[in-house]
């Protein structure tokens, strides 16, 4: 694969199409393949650059090491954009990758032209959610820890099922076709890293500080806390646009690739 050396790590990426660069960041258990279904429509008008974050496939990581951290991935993405050196670029992130993209926009707005956050993952602090539980770990974090323990103990299927059903609803893992399952399985040991990734909750001041024109995009049928996080952030990010796709859930760009690409392309064009 093509790679860029960032902070001592060769970050692999897939690059397709010509035009203004659009860098895409996958979420938990994803990798550069996450965006496959939208590569065609998006690459008609953009140079699509789909990265694999540190420790994700194509690396075959064993879960040992202490550099799977939210701050490391944010720093890696900043380094990647700097190395790319194409001037302000469009950045899109899904789920945990949306969290990373948000933090990049917060820290280095000079690097970005536009920002697309597809159901960004994370917690809300008390300034955004009066009912926030404070420093205690969320239920989601507890499930990640449990998944990580299962992966460590060799129960790969159990770890994946627990994580996936947490995000996409009970029974979702069982219904997933074998090929997408295998691509998540290729990244299962990143769950071990994720249990200690030390992700900070979003605050109102952070959301209000995002200057980059931002699109929030989500699925109308997504389960759990992701829709509430999306709405809370989009209400505070100045001038943010929001698009909710009917009939879709968390992997909305796989469920409706043409519609997703049309919304994103229109936003990036304006």
Q: For residues 168 and 250, is the Cβ–Cβ distance under 8 A?
A: yes
Q: For residues 16 and 48, is the Cβ–Cβ distance under 8 A?
A: yes
Considering only 62, 178, 198, 246, the residue that binds other proteins (CB under 8 A) is: 178
Tell me how far apart the alpha carbons of residues 95 and 218 are, in angstroms, rounded to a whole number: 10
Tell me how far apart the alpha carbons of residues 122 and 72 are, in angstroms, rounded to a whole number: 16
Rank residues 40 and 109 by Cβ distance to other proteins and give the closer one.
40
- Per the document, the length of the chain is 270
Q: With CA atoms as reference, report the closest residue to 190 among 144, 224, 138, 251.
A: 144
- 136 is a site residue for other proteins (CB under 8 A): no
Considering only 79, 158, 169, 180, the residue that binds other proteins (CB under 8 A) is: 180
- 158 is a site residue for other proteins (CB under 8 A): no
Minimum CB–partner distance for residue 57 and other proteins (Å): 6
8-16, 22-30, 96-104, 110-118 -> range binding other proteins (CB under 8 A): 8-16
Quick one: the chain helix, strand, coil %, rounded to 5?
Answer: 45, 20, 35
What token pair was written down for 113? 């032209």
Considering only 7, 19, 44, 87, the residue that binds other proteins (CB under 8 A) is: 44
Greatest extent of the chain over all pairs of C-alpha atoms, in Å: 50
Measured at the alpha carbon of residue 114, what is the angle toward residues 113 and 115, in degrees to the nearest 5?
Answer: 135
20-28, 34-42, 85-93, 232-240 -> range binding other proteins (CB under 8 A): 34-42
- 209 is a site residue for other proteins (CB under 8 A): no
Minimum CB–partner distance for residue 40 and other proteins (Å): 3
Considering only 131, 154, 179, 270, the residue that binds other proteins (CB under 8 A) is: 179
- 64 is a site residue for other proteins (CB under 8 A): no
Considering only 9, 20, 43, 152, the residue that binds other proteins (CB under 8 A) is: 43
Q: For residues 118 and 98, is the Cβ–Cβ distance under 8 A?
A: yes
Minimum CB–partner distance for residue 108 and other proteins (Å): 27
Number of residues binding to other proteins, judged by CB under 8 A: 31
Considering only 22, 23, 33, 236, the residue that binds other proteins (CB under 8 A) is: 33
Q: What is the dihedral of CA 130, 132, 134, 139, to 10 degrees?
A: 170
Beta bridge partners of 10: 5
Which residues here bind other proteins, judged by CB under 8 A? 1-2, 14-17, 33, 36-41, 43-44, 57-58, 60, 177-180, 182-183, 185-186, 254-258
């Amino acid at each position: 694969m093509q790679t860029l050396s960032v902070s001592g790590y060769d970050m692999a990426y897939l690059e397709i199409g010509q035009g203004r660069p659009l860098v895409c960041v996958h979420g938990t258990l994803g990798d550069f393949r996450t965006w496959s279904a939208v590569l065609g429509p998006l690459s008609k008008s953009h140079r699509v650059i789909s990265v694999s974050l540190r420790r994700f496939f194509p690396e075959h990581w064993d879960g040992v090491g202490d550099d799977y951290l939210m701050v490391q991935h944010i720093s890696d993405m900043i380094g990647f954009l700097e190395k790319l050196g194409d001037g302000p670029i469009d950045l899109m992130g899904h789920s945990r990758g949306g969290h990373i993209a948000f933090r990049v926009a917060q820290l280095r707005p000079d690097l970005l032209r536009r920002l697309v956050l597809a159901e960004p993952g994370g917690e809300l602090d008390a300034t955004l959610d009066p009912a926030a539980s404070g420093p205690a770990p969320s239920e989601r974090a507890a499930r990640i820890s449990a998944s990580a323990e299962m992966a460590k103990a060799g129960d790969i299927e159990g770890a994946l099922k627990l994580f996936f059903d947490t995000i996409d609803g009970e029974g979702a893992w069982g219904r997933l076709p074998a090929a997408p399952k295998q691509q998540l399985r290729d990244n299962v040991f990143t769950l071990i890293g994720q249990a200690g990734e030390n992700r900070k909750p979003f605050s109102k001041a952070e959301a209000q500080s995002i200057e980059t024109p931002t699109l929030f995009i989500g699925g109308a049928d997504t389960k759990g806390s992701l829709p509430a996080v999306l709405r809370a952030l989009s209400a505070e990010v100045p001038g943010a646009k929001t698009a909710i796709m009917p009939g879709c859930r968390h992997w909305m760009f796989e469920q409706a690739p043409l519609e997703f690409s049309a919304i994103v392309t229109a936003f990036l064009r304006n």
